Amino acid sequence: DDTTVRIWDVASGACVATLEGAEDTLAMLRDGRLASGSDDCTVKIWDLATEVCVATFVGHEREVSSLAVLDGGRLASGSQDHTIKIWEIANGACVTTVEESNAVSSIAALAGGLLASGFESFDDATISIWDVASGARVATLQTRFKPYWLEVLEGGRLAVACADDTV
């Protein structure tokens, strides 16, 4: 665990950049920068051309486990501290914090200003759907086992990998 993210040129097989202090979860921002979440409870924004961290968002109390790029220049981060935070990418301000009942394992941005979240709990086999603007839970989807990873599909569908090895 060297707390780095390495950028690879797939064609040549060469490592072309190393970001020191980045780890765990990544999201490509729409402006070409990279966001990372890590064990140090922060979200960092990286300029890939210079390999420099240009911003650090502080506010989580435990590991940042998932990131999702939202419309309107915002970024969502899910954490082991049972929260989801919505950040203004331009200035690093946390504009919303949503409290969850369990550690957040995965989040995914949905159409219409919604965000899906899955939890790290064998007792809670649900996915929450949140309205990003209001921070309100608008729906709950029941799964059979712990939702481990979420991925948005075409047509407004959501793929969910569960702890029982099913999708």
- The whole-angstrom distance between residue 36's C-alpha and the CA centroid of its chain comes to 9
pLDDT of residue 122: 60
- Rounded mean pLDDT, 53-70: 96
User: Nearest to residue 87, comparing CAs of 79, 99, 98, 75?
Assistant: 75
- Rounded mean pLDDT, 27-51: 95
Do 79 and 62 meet the contact criterion of CB atoms below 8 Å apart?
Answer: yes
User: Nearest to residue 157, comparing CAs of 102, 106, 99, 111?
Assistant: 111
How many residues would you count in the chain?
A: 167
Residue of higher predicted confidence among 144 and 66 = 66
With cut-offs at 50, 70 and 90, classify the pLDDT of residue 84: very high
- Rounded mean pLDDT, 4-26: 90
pLDDT of residue 101: 83
How far, in Å, CA of 21 to CA of 134, rounded?
33
Q: Rounded to the nearest 5°, which phi and psi values hold at 40? A: -80, 10
Cα-based torsion angle of the residue sequence 159, 155, 75, 67 in order, rounded to the nearest 10 degrees: 10
- Rounded mean pLDDT, 35-50: 95
Per-residue model confidence as pLDDT tens digits over 86-130: 999 999 999 999 998 888 989 999 999 999 998 766 666 788 999
